[in-house]
Structure 1
Amino acid sequence: MIRTVTSTLALGLAVASPAAADLAGQPFDYEVDGTVFEGYVARNTDLPETEGTVLIVHDWDGLTAYEKQRADMLAAQGYTAVAIDVYGKTNRPTNMEENQARSGALYADRDLFRARLSGSLAAAQELDGVGNDIILMGYCFGGAATLEAARAGMDIDGFVSFHGGLGTPEGQDYSMTTAPVLLLHGTADPVSGPADLAQVVGEMLDAGVEHDAQLFGGARHSFTVWGSRDYDLAADTGSWDALMGFLDAQL
């Protein structure tokens, strides 16, 4: 189902704020094929068990305070949140040119991209508070990474892309995807526009993949990124609300 949303009730992103719960957030190191990565895990240690686990793939500028804050927000809602790293602990970009180079290297080597996603999942599964119920989500580059994992058939409970790159690389499809996919996208996105959305939805239909898409009228590319020129409060809060509904249904 595709829903077009032009306005939404504001969802307080500070609901169940970290001050109201005993939240623990900390970095952790892990290895994938000999490369060291640094992720971040957050959860409410007051809970005997969490509501499930959400993995967050970072944007093209690497794992930053943004993904960590989103992880803290999820922990405040009762989830174990793990922000993963697909670049490497000593390979963090520091400028736009390096952002493009780091993300471009993974787009050019899909086997490496998938190995780092699956290796990060395996590392997350070793952490305290992480069970078998897992959702993968990501913003922008991370949204594209989430769809890469879906096409790779990653064995988890669902995939959520926030304004991600929607194009399917040549030779790939969604025939191996076994969990639901949620697309959260702006109708004015200049990176992946309505035609790309229609294309990927058609591919999922052809593959029999359970999917949903929520559109935000007039929202541009990075509508959830605080401080971005594309930031859109209604789209940000509306997409977060959609994520909460998806997590409630799938975990």
Structure 2
Amino acid sequence: MIQTEKISYQDPKKGKTFEGYMCWDDAVDGKRPGVLVSHTFKGQSDFEIGKAQDMAALGYVGFALDMYGVGKRATTPEQADALMKPFLDDRALLLNNILLAFDTLKNHPQVDPSQCGGIGFCFGGKCMLDLARSGVDINGVVSFHGIYDQPGLNHQGDIKASVLVLHGWDDPLAKPDSTVALGNELTERKADWQILAFGHTGHAFTNPAAKFPEIGMLYQEASNRRAWQAMVNFFEEIFEVIKQK
């Protein structure tokens, strides 16, 4: 049975509290790989908790993390923009908060800390890419319709994580030139990387609630299904696990 545990964790430097959801299948014995699930610009929601539960069903521990802090969630795009803006202005803050979540995942008793990964959607995809860029020792990260601009933090050395980018070719927030620039960046930093682009697909293609074709944000069932399968294959390879029953 899938277990879902509410987890409170703190930033000891700033005294701020965050609240995430750790999910695992109690039918699986022993420690297992852990996977962060990073939210969109609206903050943690049932969408990300559901994805963490989906990861648990695949045999991992899924952690629907919290970038903003307890109770900071948006219900409108304007609220979401206001919550996200400090992190766009200060990418060191973004990295700090994603690292707090990563440490929380690694320290959970169900998780093998030597086998960890992460997935993120939209703003969460940016978070996953910034985590990989930092050079932290994480096995692999996946960006679903993320944003690709570099953080400007002068990271040095090779990217240790394998990187999978799942991209809508018509995404108005990540145009082809930014996608090519990301590939060049990952190549220069010797990452093991893949970019899979889906034709006739815009931003937010994994979210059934995305119904705004006039601004290039629309759920695309086929692209969503193919992207999820690509992610499943990616983690099976890097964690060297067999498919769960």
TM-score, normalisation: structure 2 = 0.90
- 1:94 deviates by 3.2
Contact 1:150/1:174, CA 8 A, preserved across alignment: no
Percent of pairs with identical residues: 29
Q: Does 1:217 align with 2:196?
A: no
CA distance in 2, matches of 1:172, 1:238: 34
Q: Which amino acid aligns with 1:129?
A: Q
Q: Which amino acid aligns with 1:196?
A: S
Structure 1 173/235 Cα, relative in aligned 2: closer, same or farther at 3 Å?
Answer: farther
Q: Does 1:201 align with 2:183?
A: yes
- Cα offsets for 1:28-77 (capped at 9, x unmatched): 11101311000011110011035411111111000000001111111111
Unaligned runs of 5+ in 2: 212-217, 240-245
Contact 1:58/1:85, CA 8 A, preserved across alignment: yes
CA distance in 2, matches of 1:51, 1:119: 20
Q: What corresponds to 1:242 in structure 2?
A: 230
Q: What corresponds to 2:107 in structure 1?
A: 126
CA distance in 1, matches of 2:191, 2:9: 32
Runs of 4+ in structure 1 deviating by more than 3 angstroms, as ranges, are: 169-176
Q: What corresponds to 1:43 in structure 2?
A: 24
Q: Does 1:141 align with 2:123?
A: yes
CA distance in 2, matches of 1:50, 1:123: 15
Q: Per the alignment, in what secondary structure is the counterpart of residue 97 of structure 2?
A: helix
Q: What corresponds to 1:59 in structure 2?
A: 40
Contact 2:92/2:153, CA 8 A, preserved across alignment: no
Residues paired across the two proteins, number: 230
Contact 2:140/2:161, CA 8 A, preserved across alignment: yes
Q: What corresponds to 1:3 in structure 2?
A: none
Q: Does 1:24 align with 2:3?
A: yes
- Cα offsets for 1:60-114 (capped at 9, x unmatched): 0000000011111111111110111110003222322121011111111122111
CA distance in 2, matches of 1:215, 1:50: 34
Give RMSD over aligned pairs: 1.4
Contact 1:174/1:209, CA 8 A, preserved across alignment: no
Q: Which amino acid aligns with 2:204?
A: S
Q: What corresponds to 1:156 in structure 2?
A: 138
Contact 2:158/2:191, CA 8 A, preserved across alignment: no
CA distance in 2, matches of 1:154, 1:80: 19
- 1:175 deviates by 3.6
Higher strand content, 1 or 2: 2
- 1:146 deviates by 0.6
Pairing 1:74-85 to 2, within 5 Å after superposition: 74-85=55-66
- Cα offsets for 1:135-160 (capped at 9, x unmatched): 01100000001111111112110111
CA distance in 1, matches of 2:91, 2:181: 20
Structure 1 24/39 Cα, relative in aligned 2: closer, same or farther at 3 Å?
Answer: same
Q: Which amino acid aligns with 2:233?
A: G
Greater mean alpha carbon deviation, residues 162-171 or residues 147-156:
162-171
Q: What corresponds to 1:98 in structure 2?
A: 79
TM-score, normalisation: structure 1 = 0.88
CA distance in 2, matches of 1:173, 1:213: 21
Structure 1 141/174 Cα, relative in aligned 2: closer, same or farther at 3 Å?
Answer: farther
CA distance in 2, matches of 1:142, 1:52: 20
